C-alpha cells in the first residue's frame, strides 16, 4: 500500500479522455475507494459511469493471483521461477527452431508507456519487428492518413481549445456522448450549448445526435461519397480558403480532378441521405468560422479507412481549418493509453517517437542507445500474426490483450491460436485468449502500479499505485524486464519505470522535454522536445512536419465495402460501443454497476426489417454472416436505418466478432469491423 495518508492521484483506466481521480485503500483487503480529484486537468472531478465504477473489478474474485502452467491440457499453479523459466524456454525454442520472425509480441493500450516501451524493445532484441498493439484494430488507418498527409499521427488540437474556439463541429463515425463521456459533457456539449454548430455523420442515432443540428444518417460504408458531395459543394460555391490552399497545401488539383465528373445525386443516393441536406451541412461547416473535425472508428474500421480519413483531412485543408485553436482533424482515441502505446514504438513499422523501422538513419538513432541492431524490415501486424499462427508463426507473447474476442472473424483466430507451439499470456483475468496459453502470468491492475499514459489529446499523465499488489501478481514492467534479462543478460534491468521513461526521452524526441517531475499533476502535451518547452496544445501552427512542410490534399473515390448485401445476406451489420461497457468487456463485465445497467448483448433492428421477419422486441434472434452465427436479443427501434442492424462487441457469450469481417484496409491493415453482409432470423 502507498504509505501516503492522502489519497493518490491517478488516471481512469478506461477511455482516452484521461480523467483524473483519487484512490485510497478500502476496508476490505484489496479493495479500493475512489474520490473526485476536483482540480484534475482534464475532468475537474467529473467521472462517467465507467470511471466511477472502475475500482469494482480490481478485487473481483476472478483476479489471477498465481502464475499458471498448462500440463496435459490443464492449468496448475506454479512458482514465478518455474513460470518464467518455461516462458524463456518456450520462446527461445521457437526462435531457435523457426527464427525470430516466427514469434509475435502484443503490447497493450491498457498498460503504461514504460511497459509497452519495454515490450517493443524485447521484441526487437529477440530479433523481430512483429510487435503491435490494439491501435491496429481501432485507429491504424487514422494514424496512417494523418502521418502521410499532415506529418503527425495524433489529434491535432485539444479538448480545451475545441470547446473554447470552435464555431462548428463535424463529427463523423464517432459518438463522444457515449464513448468519451466527460470529453463530451465538459467540452463538446458545452460548446454546442454555447452555439457551436454540430454536424453528425453516423448510421446510428445515438446520444451525440441529441446535440447535432444536422444528422446525416449515412448507410455504413459510404463515407467517401458523402464527403465528396460536401467537398464538391465547397468547391462549386467557392467556400474554400484559397490563400491557405496556396500557401500551406499541395495536391488541390487531385481533388479537383476527382470531383470533375462527380455525380452528386448518385453519391447521395449511394449514401442514403438527401442531397440538399448534405449540401446544407457542407455550408454550415465551411461558413462557420473555425471548424473542427472529429473522427472515430466508424471511419477508421473500414477497408477504405485510410482514404476515409484522408477525405476528412481534405475537408480541413480546403477550408483552412487546421493549425489554429478550434480546428483540426481530431481522432477520439478509445483506450486510456492507445496514443502512448504507438508513441513508444509498439508497432511493426515504427520505433519509439515514430522513427521508421525501414529508415537506416532512424534505426541507428535507437541502436546507439540500445546497443543492439534492430531488424531492418517491418514486422507483421497483430492480425497477420494471428492469421499465420500455427504456420509461419509458432510463438506468441500477449500482454493485456484478448485477440480471441477483439479480432474479427474470431472463430478462425481461436482455431489458429490453438495451433501455436508456445504462447504466454499476461493479464489480470483468465481471458478467452489466456485460456489457450501454455503459461499465464498474473499482472497487477491499474490501482496497484505507477507509470505514465498518454491520452487522446497527447497529454502525458502519471498513474500512481494506491494499494499493495494482490497475491503473487507482478507489474507488467517487472515481468517483461525479467524475461528480457533472463533471455539476453543485459539491457532490461531498470531501476523502476522512471528509468525506462528517461531512456524513452532519449530516443523519442517528441517526449524529449517531458520528465516525471515536469508532468506533475497537470500533464504535458507532446511534442515537447526540450525541458524549456511547455508542450503543445495544437499542432501545425506554422508548417506541417512533412518533408516539404505542406499538408497533402488527395482526392479519393468511393470504394464499396468488402462485403455487400445479397439475397442470402440482405442486411448490413455494423457495430458500436455503449456508454456502460468497454471494448471486449474484461473489466466492465466484472463491475456490478455496469452489469446492472446492461448485462447482455443486443441488436438494433429497424421496425420494417423486424416485421418482415416476424421479430418482436425482446426476441432472441440468430445473427448470421459468412463467418458464423451468434444469438442476440433484438431491440426493435428506429435508431438504426432500415436495412442496417447494429450491435456491440462487449459480451463473451454473444460474441459479435465471431461474425465480423476480417477484410483489411490495404495501407493500414485495419479490419472492416463496421460493415458485413448479414441475416437475422427468429425460431
Ligand atoms: Fe474514464 Fe473516459 Fe469516463 Fe473519463 S470519460 S471517466 S476517462 S471512461
Q: 594 alpha carbon to ligand 1 midpoint, in Å?
A: 13
Q: 13 alpha carbon to ligand 1 midpoint, in Å?
A: 8
> Percentage of residues in the chain with pLDDT exceeding 70?
99
Of all protein residues, the one whose alpha carbon is nearest to atom 3 of ligand 1 is 48
Shared domain check, 90 and 171? no
Show the domain range for 638.
Answer: 571-681
Shared domain check, 122 and 172? no
Q: What is the CA radius of gyration of the chain?
A: 24
Shared domain check, 164 and 89? no
Q: Is 566 part of any domain?
A: no
pLDDT score at 153: 92
Q: 387 alpha carbon to ligand 1 midpoint, in Å?
A: 33
Q: 160 alpha carbon to ligand 1 midpoint, in Å?
A: 16
Q: Is 34 in the pocket of ligand 1 (CB under 6 A)?
A: no
Reported ipTM: the value is: 1.00
Q: What is the position in ligand 1's atom list of the atom closest to the CA of 180?
A: 5
Cell of 31: 479493495
List of residues 6+ apart from 236 with CB closer than 8 A = none
Pocket residue to mutate for ligand 1, from 45, 182, 454, 597, most atoms within 8 A of Cβ: 182
> Across residues 8-29, what is the average pLDDT?
94
Largest Cα separation within the chain, whole Å, is 71
Which of 454, 464, 465, 460 shows the shortest CA–CA distance to 337?
454
pLDDT score at 3: 44
For residue range 76-87, what is the model confidence (pLDDT) as tens digits?
A: 999 999 999 999
Q: 627 alpha carbon to ligand 1 midpoint, in Å?
A: 34
Of all protein residues, the one whose alpha carbon is nearest to atom 2 of ligand 1 is 15
> Distance from CA of residue 307 to its chain's centroid?
18
Q: 305 alpha carbon to ligand 1 midpoint, in Å?
A: 26
Shared domain check, 325 and 199? yes
Q: Is 61 part of any domain?
A: no
pLDDT score at 31: 84
Q: 11 alpha carbon to ligand 1 midpoint, in Å?
A: 9
- Residue pair 625/676 in contact (Cβ under 8 Å)? The answer is yes
Q: Is 537 part of any domain?
A: no
Q: What is the position in ligand 1's atom list of the atom closest to the CA of 42?
A: 4
pLDDT score at 29: 78
Q: Is 19 in the pocket of ligand 1 (CB under 6 A)?
A: yes
Q: Is residue 33 pLDDT above 70, yes or no?
A: yes
CATH of the domain at 303: 3.40.228.10
Shared domain check, 268 and 164? yes
Q: Is residue 256 pLDDT above 80, yes or no?
A: yes
Q: Is 615 part of any domain?
A: yes
Q: How confident is the model at residue 384 (pLDDT cuts 50, 70, 90)?
A: very high
Shared domain check, 236 and 190? yes
Q: 353 alpha carbon to ligand 1 midpoint, in Å?
A: 26
> Across residues 33-45, what is the average pLDDT?
95
Q: Is 15 in the pocket of ligand 1 (CB under 6 A)?
A: yes
Q: 19 alpha carbon to ligand 1 midpoint, in Å?
A: 6
Domain stops at, among 299, 333, 367: 333
CA angle 437, 439, 442 (to 5 degrees): 105
Q: How many structural domains is the chain composed of?
A: 4
Q: Is 192 in the pocket of ligand 1 (CB under 6 A)?
A: no
Shared domain check, 24 and 76? no
Shared domain check, 325 and 210? yes
Q: 436 alpha carbon to ligand 1 midpoint, in Å?
A: 31
Distance CA 98, CA 127 (A): 12
Alpha helices (H) along 181-272: 181-183, 189-193, 223-236, 242-248, 252-260, 264-271
Q: Is residue 480 pLDDT above 50, yes or no?
A: yes
Strand-pair category, 291-295 with 329-331 = parallel
Q: Is residue 30 pLDDT above 80, yes or no?
A: no
- Residue pair 344/352 in contact (Cβ under 8 Å)? The answer is yes
CATH of the domain at 93: 3.40.50.740
> Percentage of residues in the chain with pLDDT exceeding 90?
96
Domain stops at, among 333, 361, 391: 333
Q: Is 590 part of any domain?
A: yes
> Across residues 51-60, what is the average pLDDT?
93
Shared domain check, 227 and 118? no
Q: What is the 3-state secondary structure of 329-340? A: EEECCCCCCHHH
Q: Is 181 in the pocket of ligand 1 (CB under 6 A)?
A: yes
- Residue pair 610/77 in contact (Cβ under 8 Å)? The answer is no
Q: What is the mean pLDDT of the chain?
A: 96
Shared domain check, 175 and 127? no
For residue range 532-561, what is the model confidence (pLDDT) as tens digits?
A: 999 999 999 999 999 999 999 999 999 999
Q: Is 460 part of any domain?
A: no
List of residues 6+ apart from 517 with CB closer than 8 A = none
b/e sequence 420-457, b meaning 16+ C-beta within 10 Å: bbbbbbbbbbbbbbbebbbbbbbbbbbbbbbbbbbbbb
Distance CA 16, CA 344 (A): 16
Q: Is 350 in the pocket of ligand 1 (CB under 6 A)?
A: no
Q: Which element (helix H / strand E) includes 518?
A: helix 516-519
> Across residues 45-59, what is the average pLDDT?
94
Distance CA 229, CA 259 (A): 9
Q: Is 46 in the pocket of ligand 1 (CB under 6 A)?
A: no
Q: 101 alpha carbon to ligand 1 midpoint, in Å?
A: 37
> Measured between alpha carbons, how far is residue 349 from residues 310, 363, 377, 493 in Å?
20, 11, 8, 26
Which of 178, 446, 490 shows the shortest CA–CA distance to 334?
178
pLDDT score at 371: 97
Cis ω for the linkage preceding 527 (within 30 of 0): yes
Shared domain check, 47 and 80? no
Q: What is the position in ligand 1's atom list of the atom closest to the CA of 21?
A: 6
Q: Which element (helix H / strand E) includes 305?
A: helix 305-318
Q: 52 alpha carbon to ligand 1 midpoint, in Å?
A: 8
- DSSP conformation letters of 151-193: S--S-SS-HHHHHHH-SEEEEES--HHHHSHHHIIIIIHHHHH
Q: Is 50 in the pocket of ligand 1 (CB under 6 A)?
A: yes
Alpha helices (H) along 389-457: 403-406, 410-417
Q: Is residue 608 pLDDT above 50, yes or no?
A: yes
Cell of 564: 455487400
Pocket residue to mutate for ligand 1, from 14, 296, 333, 459, most atoms within 8 A of Cβ: 14
Pocket residue to mutate for ligand 1, from 16, 17, 183, most atoms within 8 A of Cβ: 17
Can you give the pTM of this predicted structure? 0.96
Q: Is 505 part of any domain?
A: no
Q: 650 alpha carbon to ligand 1 midpoint, in Å?
A: 17
Q: What is the position in ligand 1's atom list of the atom closest to the CA of 51?
A: 6
Of all protein residues, the one whose alpha carbon is nearest to atom 1 of ligand 1 is 51
Q: Is 177 in the pocket of ligand 1 (CB under 6 A)?
A: no
> Across residues 585-602, what is the average pLDDT?
94
Q: 624 alpha carbon to ligand 1 midpoint, in Å?
A: 33
Of all protein residues, the one whose alpha carbon is nearest to atom 4 of ligand 1 is 19
Which of 199, 201, 221 shows the shortest CA–CA distance to 270?
221
- Residue pair 661/137 in contact (Cβ under 8 Å)? The answer is no
Distance CA 587, CA 596 (A): 14
Which of 537, 670, 552, 538 shows the shortest CA–CA distance to 173?
670
Pocket residue to mutate for ligand 1, from 23, 46, 49, 51, most atoms within 8 A of Cβ: 51
Domain stops at, among 333, 352, 377: 333
pLDDT score at 6: 85
> Distance from CA of residue 382 to its chain's centroid?
14
Q: Which element (helix H / strand E) includes 387?
A: helix 382-388
Q: Is 44 part of any domain?
A: yes
Of all protein residues, the one whose alpha carbon is nearest to atom 6 of ligand 1 is 51
| DSSP 8-state secondary structure symbol assigned to residue 24 | E
Q: What is the position in ligand 1's atom list of the atom closest to the CA of 50?
A: 8
> Across residues 155-162, what is the average pLDDT?
95
Q: How confident is the model at residue 5 (pLDDT cuts 50, 70, 90)?
A: low
- Residue pair 491/372 in contact (Cβ under 8 Å)? The answer is yes
Q: 179 alpha carbon to ligand 1 midpoint, in Å?
A: 8
CATH of the domain at 585: 2.40.40.20
For residue range 317-335, what is the model confidence (pLDDT) as tens digits?
A: 999 999 999 999 999 988 8
Q: What is the position in ligand 1's atom list of the atom closest to the CA of 181?
A: 5
Shared domain check, 146 and 124? no
Amino acid at each position: 500500500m502507498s504509505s501516503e495518508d492522502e489519497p493518490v492521484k491517478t488516471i481512469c483506466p478506461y477511455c482516452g479522455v484521461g480523467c483524473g481521480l483519487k484512490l485510497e485503500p478500502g476496508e476490505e483487503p484489496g479493495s479500493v475507494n475512489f474520490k473526485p480529484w476536483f482540480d484534475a486537468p482534464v475532468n475537474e472531478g467529473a467521472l462517467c459511469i465507467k470511471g466511477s465504477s472502475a475500482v469494482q473489478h480490481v478485487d473481483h474474485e476472478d483476479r489471477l493471483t498465481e502464475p499458471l502452467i498448462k500440463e496435459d491440457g490443464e492449468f496448475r499453479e506454479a512458482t514465478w521461477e518455474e513460470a518464467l523459466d518455461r516462458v524463456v524456454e518456450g520462446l527461445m525454442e521457437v526462435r531457435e527452431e523457426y527464427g525470430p520472425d516466427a514469434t509475435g509480441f502484443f503490447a497493450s493500450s491498457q498498460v503504461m508507456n514504460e511497459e509497452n516501451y519495454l515490450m517493443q524493445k524485447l521484441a526487437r532484441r529477440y530479433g523481430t519487428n512483429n510487435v503491435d498493439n490494439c491501435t491496429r484494430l481501432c485507429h491504424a488507418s487514422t494514424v496512417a492518413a494523418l502521418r502521410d498527409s499532415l506529418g503527425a499521427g495524433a489529434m491535432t488540437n485539444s479538448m480545451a481549445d475545441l470547446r473554447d474556439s470552435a464555431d462548428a463541429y463535424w463529427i463523423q463515425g464517432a459518438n463522444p456522448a457515449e464513448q468519451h463521456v466527460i470529453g463530451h459533457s465538459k467540452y463538446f456539449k458545452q460548446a454546442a450549448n454555447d452555439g457551436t454548430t454540430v454536424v453528425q455523420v453516423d448510421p446510428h442515432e445515438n446520444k451525440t445526435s441529441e446535440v447535432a443540428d444536422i444528422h446525416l444518417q449515412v448507410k455504413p460504408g459510404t463515407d467517401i461519397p458523402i464527403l465528396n458531395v460536401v467537398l464538391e459543394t465547397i468547391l462549386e460555391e467557392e467556400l474554400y480558403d484559397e490563400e491557405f490552399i496556396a500557401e500551406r497545401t499541395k495536391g488541390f488539383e487531385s481533388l479537383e480532378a476527382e470531383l470533375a465528373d462527380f455525380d452528386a445525386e448518385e453519391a447521395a443516393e449511394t449514401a442514403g441521405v438527401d442531397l440538399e441536406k448534405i449540401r446544407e451541412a457542407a455550408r454550415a461547416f465551411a461558413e462557420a468560422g473555425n471548424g473542427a473535425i472529429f473522427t472515430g472508428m466508424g471511419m477508421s474500421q473500414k477497408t477504405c479507412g485510410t482514404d476515409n480519413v484522408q477525405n476528412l483531412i481534405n475537408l480541413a485543408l480546403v477550408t483552412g481549418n487546421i493549425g489554429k485553436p478550434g480546428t483540426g482533424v481530431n481522432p477520439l482515441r478509445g483506450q486510456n493509453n492507445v496514443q502512448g502505446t504507438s508513441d513508444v514504438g509498439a508497432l511493426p513499422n515504427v520505433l519509439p517517437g515514430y522513427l521508421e523501422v525501414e529508415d537506416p538513419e532512424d534505426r541507428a538513432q535507437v541502436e546507439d542507445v540500445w546497443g543492439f541492431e534492430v531488424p531492418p524490415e517491418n514486422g507483421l501486424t497483430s492480425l497477420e500474426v494471428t492469421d499465420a499462427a500455427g504456420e509461419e508463426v509458432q510463438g506468441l507473447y500477449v500482454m493485456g490483450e484478448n485477440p480471441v474476442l477483439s479480432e474479427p472473424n474470431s472463430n478462425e483466430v481461436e482455431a489458429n491460436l490453438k495451433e501455436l507451439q508456445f504462447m504466454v499470456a499476461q493479464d489480470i483475468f483468465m481471458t478467452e485468449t489466456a485460456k489457450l496459453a501454455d503459461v499465464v502470468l498474473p499482472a497487477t491492475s491499474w490501482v496497484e502500479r505507477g507509470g505514465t499514459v498518454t491520452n487522446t489529446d497527447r497529454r502525458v499523465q502519471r498513474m500512481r499505485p494506491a494499494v499493495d499488489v494482490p497475491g503473487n501478481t507482478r507489474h507488467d514492467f517487472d515481468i517483461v524486464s525479467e524475461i528480457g534479462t533472463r533471455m539476453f543478460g543485459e539491457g532490461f534491468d531498470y531501476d523502476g519505470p522512471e528509468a525506462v521513461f528517461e531512456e524513452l526521452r532519449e530516443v523519442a524526441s517528441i517526449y524529449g522535454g517531458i520528465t516525471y517531475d515536469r508532468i506533475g499533476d497537470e500533464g504535458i502535451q507532446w511534442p515537447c522536445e526540450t525541458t524549456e518547452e511547455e508542450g503543445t496544445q495544437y499542432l501545425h501552427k506554422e508548417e506541417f512536419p512533412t518533408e516539404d512542410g505542406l499538408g497533402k490534399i488527395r482526392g479519393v473515390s468511393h470504394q464499396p465495402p468488402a462485403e455487400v448485401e445479397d439475397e442470402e445476406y440482405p442486411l448490413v451489420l455494423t457495430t458500436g460501443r455503449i456508454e456502460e461497457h468497454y471494448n471486449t468487456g474484461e473489466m466492465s463485465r466484472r463491475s456490478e454497476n455496469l452489469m446492472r445497467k446492461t448485462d447482455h448483448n443486443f441488436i438494433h433492428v429497424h421496425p420494417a426489417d423486424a416485421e418482415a421477419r416476424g421479430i418482436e422486441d425482446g426476441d432472441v434472434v440468430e445473427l448470421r454472416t459468412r463467418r458464423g452465427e451468434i444469438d442476440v436479443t433484438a431491440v426493435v427501434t428506429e435508431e438504426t436505418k432500415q436495412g442496417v442492424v447494429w450491435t456491440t462487441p462487449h459480451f463473451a457469450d454473444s460474441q459479435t466478432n465471431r461474425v465480423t469481417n476480417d477484410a483489411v484496409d490495404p495501407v493500414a491493415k485495419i479490419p472492416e469491423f463496421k460493415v458485413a453482409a448479414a441475416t437475422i432470423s427468429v425460431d
